[in-house]
Amino acid sequence: MLIEDYFQQVQILIECSKIVQLFNLETEKRGMYEGFIRARLEFKDNSLLHLREFVYVEISLDRKMYSYQYMNS
């Protein structure tokens, strides 16, 4: 899989979610198979999710670094 494919998969999952009200998604390609993704999701119940992932996706999905922070309303 190419990194652009992973970025697209994440965006589609967020867009299709019925509980996400707003989101901001930033991606940074660092090679054909390597990249950084940062997102802020606002849910319908006014809770928030901040996420960051540095991933390598050549053979399988390998999260080299990740951070997820969920804050309820």
Residue pLDDT, tens place only, 14-69: 999 999 999 999 999 999 999 999 999 999 999 999 999 999 999 999 999 999 99
Contact 52, 41 (CB under 8 A): no
Question: What is d(CA 66, CA 38) in angstroms, rounded to the nearest whole number?
Answer: 10
Supply the pTM of this predicted model.
0.88
Q: What are the structural domains of the chain?
A: 3-71 (3.10.450)
Exposed/middle/buried for residue 43 (C-beta within 10 Å: 0-12, 13-18, 19+): middle
72 pLDDT band, cuts 50/70/90, is very high
What is the model's pLDDT at position 73? 85
